[in-house]
Every structure is written in structure tokens, then in C-alpha cells.
Structure 1
Amino acid sequence: MNAYPEKQHYTADDLVAIIAILRDPDNGCPWDKVQTHRSIRMNFLEEAYEAVDAIDLDDPELLCEELGDVLMQVAFHAQIEREAGHFTFAEVCDGVCRKLLDRHPHIFRGDESIKDWDSLKNKEKGRLTLADDLESVPGALPALMRAAKLQKRAARCGVETAAAPADIAAAAETAVSTADKAMAEQAVGELLFTAAALARQAGVDPEQALQKRNAAFLAEHAGRAENQES
């Protein structure tokens, strides 16, 4: 048994301590103590998406809960690294605080000559070329979101993604008319990549646009199901 003091209010320090107890090799939770970064990778993504859902629902109470779940994931991953002797939760906090101070010199140091977040970030990360910038876009992003981000970064360097409605029509026709699965997959990829480019031209976030269409589809068919039951 690992007794933990009852408190009126718990803090981030308590969270770190509780995670450490759960991860204890001898007396910890059988599930928690055997987890790795990779085994809980999808948990991190799911908790982040649930927090985004709470934002979309405009539900502060739910958002508070979901942000706690996201913070727990951060503490959990940091504890795994602490056990490996690499870094601690405190170092995670220290690093992000320093990053915010460094990237906002006009706010914290009175230096009005630098206000470009992207240039500061690229300098900090050692990104000197377009290839460096593109390779730093996370591979785990949803594909449509990643396409838009890649195109946006390329555009900052003067590389625009050619896109016209006719390109979408041509890709769609190839996808449905060919019996070659590899060719159809390539055509669908071209269609979606072009759709992301057209969305950018219209000033629309393609991921959000598709999410809204998904929601409309769900509402439409949920309504039909209710009508059929009645």
C-alpha cells in the first residue's frame, strides 16, 4: 500500500509524485509501471483530441478535466525519462519557460526589433533551408493537416503548390476509372493534397473544413435514424 496524504488542493508537484508512485517497480500499479513511450503513444493523441473536443463544445468543466488528462500524459512521459536519467518534469517546465522568454524578446526584454516568431524558432532549431523546415513538420499529424502545414511552410520560402479545380477533377477521374490500386491511391493522394492547397488559397483550414463536414454528415444521418425509429 502506498498512502498519499489527502489535500484540499493538489498541485503539479503532487501529480509528479503520484505518477512516480504508480511507476514504482515494486509497489506500483501493475499496468502503469510497465508502460513505455510507445505503448501509451496513442493515449497521448486521444487525450489531446478529447481536449480539442471540449474546446469545440465550449464546455469549460469538460475542458478542465481533459486538460488534466493531457497534463497527466506529460507527467507520465517525463517520469519515464526521469527513470532513464534523461530529464525530469521540472526540466520540461524550465525548458518551455525559457523558450517563451526567448521567443518574445519584445515582451520580456523590451527589444522591439524582433517580433517574428517563425524566424526566431527556425534560428533556435537550426533550420537553415526549406528542407530543414519541411522535415520538422511532425509526421504524426493527421495527413490533411500535415499537407496544409507543409504547403504553408513551403510558401514562406516562395514555393507555392499549384492547384486548380481542374486538378481535383482530373485526380478524381483517375481514381475512379483505373483498376490499378496503386495508381488509384496516388490519384486520391493528389486529390487530397490539391484540396488542401485550394483550401489555403481560399483562406480556409482544410482539417477544420473536413471536421465540420463530418459533423454535418453525422447530424444528418443521426436525424434520419431517429426518424426511422419513430
Structure 2
Amino acid sequence: MTSHSAANQSILDALKRLIEVVAKLRSPDGGCPWDLVQTPETLIPYVIEEAYEVVDAIQSGDKNAIAEELGDLLLQVVLQTQIASEANDFTLEQVATGITEKLIRRHPHVFGDVEVNSATEVNQNWEQIKAQEKGETPEQAKLLSRKLRRYARSLPPLMAGMKISKKAAGAGFEWENVEGVWDKFEEELGEFKEALATENKAHQQEELGDLLFTIINIARWYDLNPFDGLQGTNNRFIARLAMMEKFADKPLNEYDINELESLWQQAKQKLH
């Protein structure tokens, strides 16, 4: 057996063991009570959480953390397919076969005789093949609303907002200058404040969404990434809280607001 074949066999053995462990966890005979009560729906938060943790690990550059978090995400794939196979819906084999065939189908320049000269042509072919797979006509595939609806359905709202904003701008839905975007921000902020003065929660949510979407557009105009910006703020906030806890001699909830502000400023100064 060649070293390449041995490595492939080692990978298959590791995957087989993972599948067997997950199957045991789901076994009515001696399985784990927590795993046994899970459904595809109850596991949705974990799928999202693990995907984000993979992103965080990649951004940290910690190779060990990346490997660990990819493992946690892989567990969610295996667990979902295990539950599906118990219901005779589909199997992990079908999932793997499906994505393999899709990759081959969407890369005719690699697995067929199609020639491409740039990444742009690859993307154009990809979109055309994807449209054919979904039974869309060329005219339907070109509809902007279809593309944007896919983003809204498949991406986290902040990422979807940026994608939708960029695609809409590319189609001509754009301000003439950045001052127009700031005017829109002031308009939406005013409407949000007006909505808050009412008791209509649905209307308040709508206006909050409009305000956030305008902020995303501002970020796009200044070539900023709102996802990275918010993630950085979250991390800084947590870091400052952790520093406050180091300075504190009792739980934070036992301090009044003025004492907390003093600790906050100390933490902020220490971290800068």
C-alpha cells in the first residue's frame, strides 16, 4: 500500500469511528439521554454556533483551535445525518455523494472539456449550471430578486444585508454620493424614534431593520465590514468586562452605576 493510500485509509477509519460513536450516542440501548432527545430543529443553534466558532478560530490563526472547531462542526453534520437515517430520510453516504457529484457537475473545466480563462468565467459557469439544476430558465436566473432572496434565506442577517446591498447597488439601486446615504440614515433614525413612541412592536421591528440596513449601506460606502466591526466590538466589550472583574473585589452586580462606570474607564485605559 502506498503512503497516499495509507493516508486515505487512515482518514476513512477516523470517519468510520466518528460515525460509530455518534450512532452509539443515539442508540436506545445505552445511548446518551441528551443525544436521544435531539431533533434536526433542536440542533439548529449548535450548527450556527459551531460554524461561527470555526470562523473565529480561523481568524485567530490558531491551527489547533481550527482543527478542533472543524471537528465540532463535522459532528453536527454526522449527527444530523444520523437522525435523518433513523427516520429513513437520507444517509451520510447520500450527502457525501450528492456534494461530490455537484462539485464535478459545476466544474466542467476540471472534470470535463470546458475551457475557462479566469475566475470570473468560472463563476459565470457556476451560476449557469446552478440555475439549470434548479430548473430555472436563463431569464429567471437573471432576476435580481431571486439572487437576493437566496442571500436572505441562507446567510446570517448581517452578512445577507451586505450582500443584498452590494448586489442592489450593482444593479443601479444606489445613491449619487455618500451624503445621500447619511441623509437616509437621519431619516431612518427619525422614523425609528417615532416608532418607539408607539406600542406597535411589529412596526418598531420594521424601523429597526430599516435603520440597521442603512448602517450596512454606510459601511459599504466606506469599504468597511459590518460583521467584523460588530465582532470586534463584542470582543472588546467582553475584554473590558473581564478587566473590570480583575479590578473588582466583589461581583459586578453589587456595584452601583457610578462605580461600574469608574471600573469601566479603568479597564478601558488599561487595555489601551
Which TM-score bucket, shorter chain as reference? 0.7 to 0.9
Q: Structure 2 matches for 1:29-178, cutoff 5 A?
A: 29-113=32-116, 115=122, 116=124, 117-127=126-136, 128=140, 129-137=143-151, 139=153, 141-155=155-169, 158=171, 160=173, 162=175, 164-176=181-193
Deviation at 1:97, TM superposition (A): 1.3
Q: For structure 2, list consecutive stretches of 5 or more residues without a partner in the other structure.
A: 1-9, 248-262, 268-272
Higher relative helix content: 2
Which whole-Å CA distance do the structure 2 matches of 1:218 and 1:60 have between them? 23
Give the aligned CA root-mean-square deviation in angstroms: 2.9
Which whole-Å CA distance do the structure 1 matches of 2:224 and 2:129 have between them? 26
Which whole-Å CA distance do the structure 2 matches of 1:193 and 1:118 have between them? 26
Q: What are the superposed Cα offsets for residues 128-161 of structure 1, whole Å, 9 maximum, x if unpaired?
A: 23333333235464322221223344456x2525
Which whole-Å CA distance do the structure 2 matches of 1:119 and 1:225 have between them? 55
TM-aligned CA distance change 1:220 to 1:141, over 3 Å: same
Q: TM-score, normalised by structure 1?
A: 0.81
Q: Which has the higher contact order (CA 8 A, sep 6+)?
A: 1
**Equivalent residue, structure 2, for 1:187:** 207
Q: What are the superposed Cα offsets for residues 36-59 of structure 1, whole Å, 9 maximum, x if unpaired?
A: 001111111111111111112111
Q: TM-score, normalised by structure 2?
A: 0.70
Q: For structure 1, list consecutive stretches of 5 or more residues without a partner in the other structure.
A: 1-7
Q: What are the superposed Cα offsets for residues 11-53 of structure 1, whole Å, 9 maximum, x if unpaired?
A: 1122112211211223322221221001111111111111111
Letter in 2 for 1:160: F
Bigger radius of gyration: 2
Which whole-Å CA distance do the structure 2 matches of 1:106 and 1:202 have between them? 37
Q: What percentage of residue pairs aligned between the two structures are identical?
A: 35
